Structure 1
């Protein structure tokens, strides 16, 4: 059996995941305090793995979402960093209640250092950790925001978006920092911080970071007990959620440091056992985090209308290795928007993604794997047990592929909304690892980029991986040549076999009266793949009256810009209502 997902708990308008210690005794309790933005997306899976590892050696833990991030409710009243500190304090109290331990160890990364340092500076008697770990901490706010701005431009360029497309003011990858929070961060300068004598510190210092090393020396000069390690693998961890690699050496050193605390005399006995999850109550929605599947192996969030019986249901499938809240928090936005329109939804992490542990002895690469259909079926079983109507499957990219193929495998699908689907049937000539790490663009996109001045600058400066770009272009050309000679090869060609299989799948959905909406960003590479099966202009889709197409303007493959995300949300809502109505008539 796979190990269980963390037990969800709710407090202070956020969702946390509690991982109890294995065995009878809890040796320690660790509170994880996350970074912000794209960095949080990248570290999410690594922290779940660390929590599971700590549990195996008798250490319980709790990790949670900051206000206005992930699955937490939005910040209702702008108040700088105060809501973040208040939530951290509430999380510490909840962890003490859950474990029966009155002394804690806190682990932070990046932005997460700021609310913890604020609590330490306030000398709150209810917040007295035994130790604090700072992984690549933010100690100088103004400098952090400058780095964040530069990082945001790199991300926009990588997505093929004009600078600033991710959102207004302080933002990255579609995630926007509220103005009062950014102002508080900008004024943060911890060079005057005086560490309490009773607290031990662990600092993972980024390579060539004078700020990290300077903070370590500052604490040491003040007489603090400081363990310093090099943050090996930092860039591999925080560059991209889909390729993020856990920094094994750092996490091993951190685990050793945590186990070095003598908490045998900590007051209190065992906690109250496994807690009830609770709910988040929004103005238009109610969200209930839950575990499901065999052995509670999967984590998901049910979102229902607050004041109405659901008119329909959406099963929101994740993309790549992004957590179920979605890229740019888009899945959370969609779920709550749908609830305000009377539509329930269920979003979840598939096995091996974010907060759902992997299947034992399963494939390391779970994307585009038939094994994920079992996770969809487990979600459908939970939706059915709750008594909600059969759902419309909604997904983007790999999630769209899963939505399409799960619809073929399970008759409980009421419709499919596939956003920027790369392929309907996996091409054996493609390597999944290479595709997800180096997502190729369409030939038209490469042509557009070739005439941009910034592309010329990046080429001259060596910032473009020419061998990989050339390889991607050659693959596109080779596919077009293969398509051209397919009539000569007949049914023996790989392209012909793929095309036959795809049309067979479309016929099956047509015969079952399953409506399908294909949504594409303008110029997305998925359109080229669509043309391989249905003609350059998609004219062969006319054979399938259950299928429609919708184009998103000014959007990248991830649908990052706020306006594009809004347009997509409205399309998903209108399509689900239309699908629900049409399938009810057919039934």
Structure 2
């Protein structure tokens, strides 16, 4: 699956086009928005581009034969280069790679024909060192999620639920770019991390081999790849990469052939077929419609994204869910809201779009698309911020036939609560703190200074204070802010009950969203009995992302049930 961006109307198309080579895993999730931003900047300079998912990643097909390691991804890269030349009318390429993608630029570049230049962003110089770092990084992600040892992927090369095929990992382990014996391109921009001596050494080695090397410190790397939810785009680096690519493309002159229009692309699996598309005002939203290969049944499902994760979902969970639905005869749409992943921002809108009313416009556009394609009625499903968006959109969207909300952080946003702060310092539930306090691993991390005890104490205080404040409004009515919040939440549930819109709430046993649920509906949830259209299910031994296979399967079953019941 790939996304082609032509040169912008009014520009002179360059004879150079950019092929993006993505990193793998968690790093790919964090850089997806950067790729879209760069593609748009290049288009404004007359430079077309293509970004794509390797087989077994993102929106591409699974169950590939990876015997030999990297040949499958190498062949996919060659196919992408051929397609980019056909679409752009160019003869020459500039490769822009990040992490493993930068490494692939060097390893695969000679097989791609005329390559004018390369941008190597934080390349993997030593595969062995990379896999060690990946293992440590994976443990940090799992610790942050609160996964128990038995819930973690062990004995595999993995991170954030994404597993690298064994043969690929074995091939990556053998990578040593210092052994490169020929310059992969005449001009190279090395975007190097200041503390990585091996990246500086690689630049020197490529210079020895005859390449013209330009250097750019990778300022803001850690802020970009630490977490897709709070990733900060490296503006200085993006500007430098754009400037360097623009100069190289301008020197190449105009394109030698006309640009071709991409034909409708359909990805065919055993039980489904998928079509990537753009929709909404000015076709600004990017998504994928997944259709069953057999007869359709039930309502369709609009799968809403979580935070700033691309529409493939955390650990590709949304891709898996869409294809699971297709196996049951259910159609679906997964898409990026504005300023998320592959969808550009709305002009004049605030940069922080999570929990904003503007995202409801994107959901309305999704319902419009389903109606145009005769895929109505539709059910909304989402996790965390996507669950919040599903719930809120259902209130003012009569075309919504049901809601499946997984671990909703809240039901009505407190406008006094800053979204950025809430995302960066999101407190855990009191149940989760209690569970962690009894863990030997927590004691070890506390002794080693890895836990910020002060921050934990502040977060626990916030949870206790909010719980007390939300339970008080029964006496204070609407006189306090928390009273008004409580009234707004109950009014929202009443509105959906009057419309008889089925709502399924699914929580993991220690999720932070349970704090607000219990504050609104009681410690035993008895307050929810007033709403016959709502079912509540609490899943023990699951994290916020529903990572364990049993939890993921349960969520998929509930979405299937909601779709079949809503028809």
Query: Same fold per TM (> 0.5)?
Result: yes
**Residue 583 of structure 1 aligns with which residue?**
none
Cα separation, partners in 2 of 1:376 and 1:484, compared to 1, 3 Å: closer
2:164 to 162, 177, 182: 177
The answer to whether 1:490 aligns with 2:477 is yes
- CA deviation vs aligned residue, 1:13-72 (integer Å, no higher than 9, x gap): x23342433424212311111000000000111111111112112222111111111111
**Residue 105 of structure 2 aligns with which residue?**
116
Deviation at 1:503, TM superposition (A): 1.5
**Residue 69 of structure 1 aligns with which residue?**
57
Give the 5 Å matches for 1:563-582. Answer: 563-580=550-567
The answer to whether 1:191 aligns with 2:178 is yes
Q: Specify the SS of the correspondent of 1:343.
A: coil
**Residue 378 of structure 1 aligns with which residue?**
365
1:51/1:61 contact within 8 Å kept: yes
- CA deviation vs aligned residue, 1:188-222 (integer Å, no higher than 9, x gap): 22222123375221111113212212211211222
**Residue 440 of structure 2 aligns with which residue?**
453
Once residues 531 and 145 of structure 1 are traced to their aligned partners in structure 2, the CA distance between those partners, rounded to angstroms, is 42
Once residues 351 and 174 of structure 1 are traced to their aligned partners in structure 2, the CA distance between those partners, rounded to angstroms, is 26
Deviation at 1:277, TM superposition (A): 3.2
1:29/1:103 contact within 8 Å kept: yes
Cα separation, partners in 2 of 1:321 and 1:225, compared to 1, 3 Å: same
Stretches of structure 1 that go unaligned for 5 or more consecutive residues are 1-13, 581-587
Deviation at 1:263, TM superposition (A): 5.3
2:5/2:43 contact within 8 Å kept: no
Cα separation, partners in 2 of 1:381 and 1:361, compared to 1, 3 Å: same
1:31/1:105 contact within 8 Å kept: yes
Q: Specify the SS of the correspondent of 2:274.
A: strand
1:153/1:164 contact within 8 Å kept: no
Deviation at 1:417, TM superposition (A): 0.2
The answer to whether 1:501 aligns with 2:471 is no
1:195/1:224 contact within 8 Å kept: no
The answer to whether 1:139 aligns with 2:125 is yes
Deviation at 1:577, TM superposition (A): 1.7
- CA deviation vs aligned residue, 1:253-275 (integer Å, no higher than 9, x gap): 22222123265556853433431
Deviation at 1:424, TM superposition (A): 0.9
1:344 to 318, 331, 338: 331
Once residues 486 and 381 of structure 1 are traced to their aligned partners in structure 2, the CA distance between those partners, rounded to angstroms, is 39
Once residues 53 and 249 of structure 2 are traced to their aligned partners in structure 1, the CA distance between those partners, rounded to angstroms, is 29
Once residues 497 and 525 of structure 2 are traced to their aligned partners in structure 1, the CA distance between those partners, rounded to angstroms, is 17
Deviation at 1:164, TM superposition (A): 7.1
The answer to whether 1:245 aligns with 2:229 is no
Once residues 223 and 269 of structure 1 are traced to their aligned partners in structure 2, the CA distance between those partners, rounded to angstroms, is 28
2:134 to 138, 142, 148: 148
Once residues 372 and 185 of structure 2 are traced to their aligned partners in structure 1, the CA distance between those partners, rounded to angstroms, is 51
2:6/2:88 contact within 8 Å kept: no
Once residues 162 and 384 of structure 1 are traced to their aligned partners in structure 2, the CA distance between those partners, rounded to angstroms, is 43
Deviates more, 1:570-579 or 1:437-446: 570-579
1:297/1:357 contact within 8 Å kept: yes
- CA deviation vs aligned residue, 1:133-183 (integer Å, no higher than 9, x gap): 111111211111111000000000111113574534111011111111111
Deviates more, 1:542-551 or 1:558-567: 558-567
Alignment root-mean-square deviation, CA: 1.8
Deviation at 1:468, TM superposition (A): 2.8
Structure 1 length normalisation: TM-score?
Answer: 0.92
Once residues 554 and 525 of structure 2 are traced to their aligned partners in structure 1, the CA distance between those partners, rounded to angstroms, is 23
Once residues 374 and 361 of structure 1 are traced to their aligned partners in structure 2, the CA distance between those partners, rounded to angstroms, is 15
Q: Specify the SS of the correspondent of 1:377.
A: helix
Stretches of structure 2 that go unaligned for 5 or more consecutive residues are none
Once residues 152 and 29 of structure 2 are traced to their aligned partners in structure 1, the CA distance between those partners, rounded to angstroms, is 15
Cα separation, partners in 2 of 1:163 and 1:146, compared to 1, 3 Å: farther
The answer to whether 1:41 aligns with 2:29 is yes
The answer to whether 1:226 aligns with 2:213 is yes
**Residue 524 of structure 2 aligns with which residue?**
537
Once residues 17 and 443 of structure 1 are traced to their aligned partners in structure 2, the CA distance between those partners, rounded to angstroms, is 47
Once residues 77 and 365 of structure 1 are traced to their aligned partners in structure 2, the CA distance between those partners, rounded to angstroms, is 41
Once residues 227 and 336 of structure 1 are traced to their aligned partners in structure 2, the CA distance between those partners, rounded to angstroms, is 44
Once residues 544 and 110 of structure 1 are traced to their aligned partners in structure 2, the CA distance between those partners, rounded to angstroms, is 50
Q: Specify the SS of the correspondent of 2:244.
A: helix
**Residue 86 of structure 1 aligns with which residue?**
75
User: Which portions of structure 1, spanning 4 or more consecutive aligned residues, are displaced by more than 4 angstroms?
Assistant: 262-268
- CA deviation vs aligned residue, 1:326-369 (integer Å, no higher than 9, x gap): 11110000000000110000011111111111110111211111
**Residue 431 of structure 2 aligns with which residue?**
444
Structure 2 length normalisation: TM-score?
Answer: 0.95
Cα separation, partners in 2 of 1:71 and 1:269, compared to 1, 3 Å: same
Once residues 454 and 309 of structure 1 are traced to their aligned partners in structure 2, the CA distance between those partners, rounded to angstroms, is 49
Q: Specify the SS of the correspondent of 2:105.
A: helix
The answer to whether 1:52 aligns with 2:74 is no
Once residues 297 and 267 of structure 2 are traced to their aligned partners in structure 1, the CA distance between those partners, rounded to angstroms, is 18
Once residues 460 and 9 of structure 2 are traced to their aligned partners in structure 1, the CA distance between those partners, rounded to angstroms, is 51
Cα separation, partners in 2 of 1:299 and 1:568, compared to 1, 3 Å: same
1:549 to 511, 529, 536: 536
Cα separation, partners in 2 of 1:200 and 1:265, compared to 1, 3 Å: closer
**Residue 11 of structure 1 aligns with which residue?**
none
1:33/1:63 contact within 8 Å kept: yes
Once residues 496 and 364 of structure 1 are traced to their aligned partners in structure 2, the CA distance between those partners, rounded to angstroms, is 30
2:283 to 293, 296, 311: 296
Cα separation, partners in 2 of 1:198 and 1:190, compared to 1, 3 Å: closer
- CA deviation vs aligned residue, 1:244-298 (integer Å, no higher than 9, x gap): 1111222222222212326555685343343123110111001001000111111
**Residue 88 of structure 2 aligns with which residue?**
99
- CA deviation vs aligned residue, 1:459-492 (integer Å, no higher than 9, x gap): 3433323343222111112113324543442331
**Residue 9 of structure 1 aligns with which residue?**
none
Cα separation, partners in 2 of 1:541 and 1:487, compared to 1, 3 Å: closer
Once residues 198 and 522 of structure 1 are traced to their aligned partners in structure 2, the CA distance between those partners, rounded to angstroms, is 53
Cα separation, partners in 2 of 1:107 and 1:525, compared to 1, 3 Å: same
The answer to whether 1:418 aligns with 2:405 is yes
Once residues 153 and 558 of structure 2 are traced to their aligned partners in structure 1, the CA distance between those partners, rounded to angstroms, is 21
